[in-house]
Structure 1
Amino acid sequence: MTDVAREAGCSQATVSFVLNQAPGIKLSFETRQRVLEAARRLGYVVAPSAPVVAPALPGRRIGFVVDQLATSPEAMVAIDGLTQASRPLGDLVLVAQTHSDNALEAELIRSFVAQGVHALVYMTIFTREVELPPQIMSLDVPVLLLNCYTADQAIPAVVPSEIAGGQRSTRHLIEHGHRRIATITGEIWMEAAQDRLKGYRRALATADIPFDPALVIEGDWSASAGYEATRKLLALPEPPTAIFCQNDRTAIGCYEALKEAGLSIPRDMSVVGYDDEEISRHLHPRLSTSILPHRAMGQWIIEQLEGMDGAARRYPLVKLECPLVERDSVAPLKTS
């Protein structure tokens, strides 16, 4: 649906309404035709005008508990991946937000149990190790972790492969001839920031490029932090020629500081982001960035449920790749 929406010049929601022929949604004939033609051009098989018949619901009931829904799009992307994968099976996904409130979390779990859930998915917005509440550990249904994990690995868990993602982003800049590469991190207490920094350093070491701590600026994932950090980097006696922004919002601020300084992207400075948020496609130039695999993580949950047998064991932590999307913000290093 994301591909079709981009091709048709509309929102993903519009594509969903057209392809699923949602009742009560008033879309023009022209819009519907544009979506269908875009889907066909991309090679998707579009059924004729007969309505899409979903399997009888519910099959399994899957409880989904997450600490925050509104702070970032990752939770909704993961839920969408999970529901898209579970829908053909007739599953019903029940979603609840805890706001990191232990009492509310316990009550929500009790409510899910009362509704007869067949499995429980536990997600955190920030990738981290968690200590699960007793209510979860005592459940007699499968429990799976999304974007978090336990120290004993007693529960199946999936997270993004952040070290590899940071390494791939930095290597992309190295492959374009850059050797003086800066990075603007997120808050360094977060595992995502730590791991993306490890990947950055690993790529430098692999290419025999000395690590320079002056080229690492800690931010807080915000555009304003990206702006301030970029100004600091430009003020160095020897500024970088490329900047790895560890999320796309940081890259927005980076773009602003570079343009304010009269620098052209990517002619004067190459920039790479991370997360592949919608805005990355609309920056000028379009931002090269990495995809956070939350949709694939949601799909992975359903795949695991199909094969779980309830036996106690250690589950290796699954890390899904963060693919790099090459756009227009990186260019070969200028040679004088």
Structure 2
Amino acid sequence: MTDIARAAGCSQATVSFVLNNTAGMKLSAETRQRVFETASALGYAIPEAATAPIPAEMPNRIGIIVDQIATSPEAVQAIDGLSAAIQERGGLVYVGQSRGDSDVEARLIDDFLQQGISALVYLTIFTREVTPTAALRNAPVAVYLLNCYTANQATPSAVPSEIAGGQRSTHHLITQGHRRIATITGEIWMEAAQDRLKGYRRALATADIPFEQDLVFEGDWSTSAGYEATRKILALPDRPTAVFCQNDRMAVGCYQALKEAGLSIPQDMSVVGYDDEEIARHLHPQLTTSVLPHRAMGQWAAEQILSGTEARASGMTKVECPLIIRASVAPPRP
């Protein structure tokens, strides 16, 4: 099989699936024929079973590789969204954590293929561009990317629509009458922070509100960063009337700093978060925030798999981050 794979320009796994006539593998007739012709040219006998009618497909079996599972709840939500849809159709979902190790990833893919998966989903915790490893590129099944994408977008992917989410959050504050709006970003090297800031700037520009760099405070997504940034915001000579915290954990710190300063939310300061973590519903007042759509992205992947979309279909799908309006925003005081 190693000889045939090298000469045919495919993976050894592909040769194995062709010669064993493995059910559930979405291999083209051209690929099968190329393997047969290469095997014959090299002098190998082709097993009779390899050319028999392909067995009926087994129920969908899907493999999911995650770079980090335990870092945040988002990975679990994406997996749950995908697995619920697959299991409703009698399928099975296998999950493995690679920790960004290409060797571990290759072994996981091999193990998943031995289980007869018909599709592979690659999920990252942070939204980013990825360069697929050889094992992922050569997998003989459909491959989908969640929360990441390739530079040429040759592999179908789904990512949050972060720019639109940041714009919608800021626009909501503007519609309530706020004109001086501060924002606390995440670590600015991350795409999520960059895109949410772009959305903030677009909303200001659309409303003819000048952008002020002095109203942008860089955080690190943590509660303490939200607390410290809010203290700086309150020390400004011309204090803003609203704060867009670019995740809910920083919004928790913002709440604490505002309340220590004796200010009421939203009467003295309106606050918007992002991510819609469970804490947002338990703050007082409840936090207006945007949904980070990992569950919806998992459901998107399931829809692609169940609809039989070919792995060679390309393009990036941006999944909406809906704004959940609660009680933390009100018009500024006259």
Which TM-score tier does this pair reach, normalised by the shorter chain?
0.7 to 0.9
User: Per-residue deviation at 1:284?
Assistant: 0.6
User: Per-residue deviation at 1:311?
Assistant: 6.7
Counterparts of 2:96 and 2:139, CA distance in 1: 17
User: Per-residue deviation at 1:115?
Assistant: 1.6
Question: 2:76 matched to which residue of 1?
Answer: 76
Q: Assess, with a 3 A threshold, how the Cα gap between structure 1 residues 317 and 208 changes in structure 2: closer, same or farther.
A: same
- RMSD over aligned CA atoms reads 1.1
TM superposition score normalised by structure 1: 0.81
Q: Assess, with a 3 A threshold, how the Cα gap between structure 1 residues 280 and 224 changes in structure 2: closer, same or farther.
A: same
Instruction: Decide whether the 8 Å contact of 2:144 with 2:311 is kept in 1.
Output: no
Question: 2:155 matched to which residue of 1?
Answer: 155
User: Per-residue deviation at 1:316?
Assistant: 2.3
User: Per-residue deviation at 1:204?
Assistant: 0.1
User: Per-residue deviation at 1:153?
Assistant: 1.1
Secondary structure, counterpart of 2:184 in structure 1: strand
Counterparts of 1:115 and 1:159, CA distance in 2: 28
Output one character per residue of 1:126-183: Cα deviation in whole Å (capped at 9) or x when no partner: 0000001100100110000000000111111000000000000000000000000000
Q: Assess, with a 3 A threshold, how the Cα gap between structure 1 residues 311 and 317 changes in structure 2: closer, same or farther.
A: closer
Instruction: Decide whether the 8 Å contact of 1:273 with 1:289 is kept in 2.
Output: yes
> What amino acid sits opposite 2:154 in the alignment?
A
Counterparts of 2:178 and 2:309, CA distance in 1: 50
Question: 1:134 matched to which residue of 2?
Answer: 134
Count of aligned pairs? 277
> What amino acid sits opposite 1:194 in the alignment?
Q
> What amino acid sits opposite 1:318 in the alignment?
T
Secondary structure, counterpart of 2:201 in structure 1: helix
Counterparts of 1:184 and 1:89, CA distance in 2: 43
Q: Assess, with a 3 A threshold, how the Cα gap between structure 1 residues 267 and 311 changes in structure 2: closer, same or farther.
A: closer
Secondary structure, counterpart of 2:244 in structure 1: strand
Counterparts of 2:104 and 2:275, CA distance in 1: 30
> What amino acid sits opposite 2:87 in the alignment?
R
Question: 1:188 matched to which residue of 2?
Answer: 188
Secondary structure, counterpart of 1:268 in structure 2: coil
> What amino acid sits opposite 1:96 in the alignment?
G
Question: 1:267 matched to which residue of 2?
Answer: 267
Counterparts of 1:103 and 1:293, CA distance in 2: 30
Q: Which runs of 4+ in 1 moved over 3 A?
A: 307-313
Output one character per residue of 1:96-136: Cα deviation in whole Å (capped at 9) or x when no partner: 11112222122111211222211100000000000011001
Question: 2:330 matched to which residue of 1?
Answer: 331
Instruction: Decide whether the 8 Å contact of 2:61 with 2:119 is kept in 1.
Output: yes
Q: Assess, with a 3 A threshold, how the Cα gap between structure 1 residues 312 and 104 changes in structure 2: closer, same or farther.
A: closer
User: Per-residue deviation at 1:84?
Assistant: 1.3
> What amino acid sits opposite 1:242 in the alignment?
A
Secondary structure, counterpart of 1:243 in structure 2: strand
Question: 2:257 matched to which residue of 1?
Answer: 257
Q: Assess, with a 3 A threshold, how the Cα gap between structure 1 residues 309 and 269 changes in structure 2: closer, same or farther.
A: closer
User: Per-residue deviation at 1:306?
Assistant: 2.8
Question: 1:211 matched to which residue of 2?
Answer: 211
Output one character per residue of 1:84-105: Cα deviation in whole Å (capped at 9) or x when no partner: 1112211100011111222212
Pairing 1:284-303 to 2, within 5 Å after superposition: 284-303=284-303
Counterparts of 2:137 and 2:321, CA distance in 1: 30
User: Per-residue deviation at 1:309?
Assistant: 4.9
Structure 2, unaligned stretches of length 5 or more? 1-57
Question: 1:178 matched to which residue of 2?
Answer: 178
User: Per-residue deviation at 1:297?
Assistant: 0.6
Instruction: Decide whether the 8 Å contact of 1:184 with 1:218 is kept in 2.
Output: yes
User: Per-residue deviation at 1:195?
Assistant: 0.3
Question: 2:7 matched to which residue of 1?
Answer: none
Question: 1:317 matched to which residue of 2?
Answer: 316
Secondary structure, counterpart of 2:237 in structure 1: coil
Counterparts of 2:179 and 2:98, CA distance in 1: 45
Whichever of the two has the greater Rg, that structure is 2
Q: Which one is further off, 245-254 or 84-93?
A: 84-93
Question: 1:146 matched to which residue of 2?
Answer: 146
> What amino acid sits opposite 1:130 in the alignment?
V
Output one character per residue of 1:290-333: Cα deviation in whole Å (capped at 9) or x when no partner: 001111111110111133453735x2210011000010100011
Q: Assess, with a 3 A threshold, how the Cα gap between structure 1 residues 281 and 309 changes in structure 2: closer, same or farther.
A: closer
Question: 1:167 matched to which residue of 2?
Answer: 167
Question: 1:60 matched to which residue of 2?
Answer: 60
Counterparts of 1:69 and 1:219, CA distance in 2: 23
Question: 1:198 matched to which residue of 2?
Answer: 198
Question: 1:11 matched to which residue of 2?
Answer: none
Instruction: Decide whether the 8 Å contact of 1:153 with 1:317 is kept in 2.
Output: yes
Q: Assess, with a 3 A threshold, how the Cα gap between structure 1 residues 216 and 310 changes in structure 2: closer, same or farther.
A: same
Instruction: Decide whether the 8 Å contact of 1:81 with 1:299 is kept in 2.
Output: yes
Instruction: Decide whether the 8 Å contact of 2:155 with 2:311 is kept in 1.
Output: no
Pairing 1:24-103 to 2, within 5 Å after superposition: 59-103=59-103
Q: Assess, with a 3 A threshold, how the Cα gap between structure 1 residues 91 and 328 changes in structure 2: closer, same or farther.
A: same
> What amino acid sits opposite 1:240 in the alignment?
P
> What amino acid sits opposite 1:278 in the alignment?
E
> What amino acid sits opposite 1:327 in the alignment?
R
